Amino acid sequence: MDLKALLNKEQYEGAVTVEGPVLILAGAGSGKTRVLTYRMAHMIEDLDIPPYKILAITFTNKAAKEMKDRVKALVGERADNMWISTFHSTCVRILRREADKIGYKKNFTIYDTSDQKTLITDCMKKLNIDSKDIDHKEILGKIGRAKDRMQSPESYKREFESNYRENKIADVYVMYQKSLKENNAMDFDDLISKTVELFKKNPDVLEFYQNKFQYIMVDEYQDTNKAQYEFVKLLANKYKNLCVVGDDDQAIYTWRGADVTNILDFEKDYPECKIIKLEENYRSKGNILNAANVVIKNNAYRKSKTLRTEQEDGSKIKIYRAFDDRAESDFVAKTIADLKYSENRKNDDFAILYRTNAQSRLFEETLRRRGIAYKIIGGTRFFDRKEIKDLLCYLKVIVNPQDDVSLKRIINVPKRSIGDATVNKVQEFADDFELDLWDSLLAARGNPNLTARNATSIEKFTELMESFMDMKDTMSVSNLIETILEDTGYLNQLKNSKDIEDRSRVENLEELVSDAVDFENTSEDKSLEAYLEKVSLVQDTDKLQEEEEGEGSVVLMTIHSAKGLEFPVVFMVGMENGIFPSMTDLEVEAQMEESRRLCYVAITRAKECLYMTSAEVRKVFGRTVSYSQSDFIDEVSSSLKEYVNERGMYKNSNKQYLNRSEITNNPHSLRGNLYNSSKNTNKTLENSEDENKKFVTKDNIVLGAKVKHSKFGIGTIVSVAPSGDDKKVTIAFDKQGIKMLLLSFAKLEFV
């Protein structure tokens, strides 16, 4: 395989460096998937490394499938012997073989968010915790973060012993984990942490998998949390043939447990590692790329790299400042319509990216009004719909009758005279005799608290479920689903309903059957267990499907959801201080850096054309609120951007368009402050001379002045904003980038 002809110099180096630890810093659009693909093909084809000794880990099923298909195209069927999968899928495969070594049965159920909520709510009731005092979402979030940190319930309890609220959450965590074990179930976070536990408690098992996977690759390493980091480190510890690929500039998931230090400190873990930088971008035009570079360079905590491209510069970044949020959405919809006509573009050439889902409403409205098809990525997912959840719970109980959460959901769905009171009596009987709920149902006739009628209803249900269990190994998954729908009366109930919504439920169930058929046609393992694993491991980002024909749809999504995707034309909307970045981002340096990384990700989604839009005023909770233009727009060099009006025409583009109200009212705007400082250049310079070696105060502070800070060195004051009785000062430091400081604490000196 002539890799030199197929790859650029840096890509080639990444593909052929197989032995020892390797860190590949892959900038946006630099062809990292291509490198990993050819790296694996090179190992199999040229180095004769057995495919079964290679493990490649990705973050989404979509990425794993794409990677496997590409390798298969290069080396053929041998690729089937490799493990190319997500962290969770990899850990599930290991636990299905080894779970008994940590006290679980191998047929354990994987609980999703809905199952977790049910179990958490049950634990809260038992502990007399009022949901008005502590919400189940807060508890689930904190338990999830604890598991990401590899923190046990007991450790969590000890840490927060003196904190009443956190101690209550710790109690739920203890009971929740105990209940999971009793139900022979794991949640999503357990899959990784329990695998780490397995490795640490069973050195022989760890050694087996270390010998099996002598060559390990991890994609998107900047998004790993502590549990994932531990898993990888343990596996790679023997042979140290570990290749991690990632981009610290695209680390945007701190809020869900990702730790950017995993990639930043890789050399500390592996001092002998080789660092390879992929800096040539194949996605974006020159101006878009340069805009991304100048914005991200304002972050201090990053590895130095600069993306480059051989493509032409293309059009400048187009900046639109609307009067209000409605005018902003009208501009975006009109621009899409105009570009479709003038440049013969299709709907799916466009993406509208926003900071939060709440921003989508007006854009949906204006697109509908213009008859432009759109789709929202990140709405209610197919597998989260009630009727789908019901059927999946039937399937889960068939596989694992000990799954109390799933059993409770479907025991009276459709209604079969087994109400909550009856279930409670069965549960009490189970608790008294230390039985599973299922075993308690089977012993219904021996339960003195149940009437003969209750017992008959329960027996009919258990007989029905046992008949499904008998069918499991002899019937396809799709046929089993159809049988359940028919024999339980679930489908007839929906078909006979007068509710319009129930008609769509029938269509959704039909789609579930189609999904099962697709699974049967594409999977080697066609078992019900394998199907449930596939469903459990589906992720949000896998949902984006390209339209097969027609114009497709304009995509509306959060920037977080857009990571890894690309579009010819991108609109970054709501670009205002207070929204993007948020007010807390502006006040906390670490959050500001993450927000800037998010901005970098958004910019680099655009291939040909990028718009950044904002509104002077918008409605928030029914009130009109004024926001200044985003600092991120200001960080884009004036040579790379141009201001447009509602007709798409340039506003004084040679001189750079400045809205006078923005100049006076935007304390964070570099443009506005540069305007003010240019008007007062002489005064600023004179004052700087007069005040030399004096401390900066509220009374003598001037824009444009050179100042010195004890930690950050010399810089220039670029904006001043009120902050209570104090002032918030934005300073562009010569060596440390842009910092925001409170004047009273900064102790600045004039230079």
Kindly list the catalytic residues. Answer: 32-33, 219-220, 250, 605
For residue 59, give the nearest of 202, 232, 210, 201 by alpha carbon. 232
Residue 495 carries which DSSP code? H
Residue 66: exposed, middle, or buried by beta-carbon count in 10 A (0-12, 13-18, 19+)?
Answer: middle
Count of C-beta atoms within a 10 Å radius of residue 280: 17
For residue 684, give the nearest of 750, 587, 733 by alpha carbon. 750
Count of C-beta atoms within a 10 Å radius of residue 573: 29
Q: H-helix or E-strand containing 740? A: strand 737-742
Residue with tokens 């499907």: 545
Residue 371 carries which DSSP code? T
Q: H-helix or E-strand containing 609? A: strand 606-620
Q: Phi-psi category of 611—alpha, beta or left, where left has phi over 0 and alpha has psi -120 to 50?
A: beta
Evaluate the CA torsion angle 688, 693, 698, 699 in order and state its sign: negative
Q: Which two three-digit tokens encode residue 401?
A: 């009758």
Residue with tokens 């999968």: 85
Count of C-beta atoms within a 10 Å radius of residue 3: 17
User: DSSP letters of 398-454?
Assistant: HH-TT-HHHHHHHTTSS--S--HHHHHHHHHHHHHTT--HHHHHHTGGG-TTS-HHH
User: DSSP letters of 238-262?
Assistant: TT--EEEEE-GGG---GGGT--THH
Do β-strands 606-620 and 623-626 pair in parallel, antiparallel, or remain unpaired? antiparallel
Question: CA–CA separation, 152 vs 713, rounded Å?
Answer: 44
- 706-709 β-sheet, strand order: 737-742, 726-733, 713-723, 706-709, 749-750
Residue with tokens 């998937």: 33
For residue 110, list its beta bridge partners: 186
Question: CA–CA separation, 101 vs 572, rounded Å?
Answer: 50
Please report, to the nearest 10 degrees, the dihedral formed by the alpha carbons of residues 641, 642, 646, 649 taken in order.
-140
CA angle 476, 477, 481 (to 5 degrees): 120
Whether residue 339 contacts residue 562, with contact meaning beta carbons closer than 8 Å, is answered with no
Count of C-beta atoms within a 10 Å radius of residue 294: 15
- Length of the chain measured in residues: 751
Collect all residues with Cβ–Cβ distance below 8 Å to 82 and sequence separation of at least 6: 40, 51, 52, 54, 55, 56, 68, 71
For residue 482, give the nearest of 490, 493, 494 by alpha carbon. 490
- 54-58 β-sheet, strand order: 83-86, 54-58, 215-218, 242-246, 22-26, 274-278
Report how far apart the first and last C-alpha atoms of the chain are (Å, whole number). Answer: 61
The one-letter amino acid code at 54 reads I
The number of C-alpha atoms within 13 Å of 557 and in the hemisphere containing its C-beta is: 26
